[in-house]
Amino acid sequence: MKLKVNLLDILILAVVIAGLVWFFGFRGKGGGEVAYEEEIFVITYMTPSYPGFVTPYLSAGDSVEDFIKGGVIGTITGVAVSEGYDVRAGTDGVLVKSPKEDYDQIELMTEASGRKAENGVVMNGNTYLVGQYVTMRAGEGKLYIMLTGIERKN
């Protein structure tokens, strides 16, 4: 019996062996995750105009969860509420800030555990950036709100 092996057979075998080595090499390493030390961050969120009936459902001590990505992203430490507003072009084309009835400006102050990333903070494996909008469940309310500040807690 004659065994005939060509270059294509050798290449296919090499690719299969390399794939198996790669697959089994990473399985035992916890997905390649690097251990890091978490820190506490003060994270602020703000919306200039949100329906006023939501505001009473936000309180210090309430948990904050990312409604889209899942996971706890902090605890409310403070809620600042003022009159909601809109910004529109006036008759002369200049932007004008005007009050919006039955709407509140909401600023949420939170504390969260995570790690500082090059661009923002990582919480629950997701990176959050200043200027990013987050759909969250805070207390008994659901908000679509902008992240406006990230600071390490001393």
Q: How many helices (H) and strands (E) does the chain have?
A: 1, 8
Structure tokens at 109: 């102050």
Q: Which of 8-12, 105-109, 146-150 has the lowest mean pLDDT?
A: 8-12
Residue 7 within a domain: no
Note if the pTM is more than 0.85: no
- What would you measure as the largest C-alpha separation in the chain, in angstroms? 94
5 located within any domain:
no
The tens digit of pLDDT for each residue in 24-48 reads 775 555 555 555 678 999 999 999 9
Residue recorded with tokens 């997905």: 31
**Does some domain include residue 3?**
no
End-to-end, the C-alpha distance of the chain in Å comes to 77
* 79 within domain boundaries: yes
Q: Is the pLDDT of residue 11 over 70?
A: yes
In a domain, 1, yes or no: no
State percent of the chain over pLDDT 90.
67
In the block, which residue shows the tokens 């959050």?
Answer: 128
Give residue 51's domain range.
Answer: 39-152
- Cβ-in-10-Å burial (0-12, 13-18, 19+) of 102 comes to exposed
Considering the domain boundaries, does residue 8 fall inside one? no
pLDDT tens readout for residues 121-143: 999 989 999 999 999 999 999 99
Q: What is the mean pLDDT of the chain?
A: 88
pLDDT in tens, 103-114: 999 999 999 999
* 72 part of a folded domain: yes
Structural domains in the chain (count): 1
Tens-digit pLDDT profile for residues 45-74: 999 999 999 999 999 999 999 999 999 999
Note whether 43 and 107 are within 8 A (CB).
no
Q: Give domain status of residue 111, yes or no.
A: yes
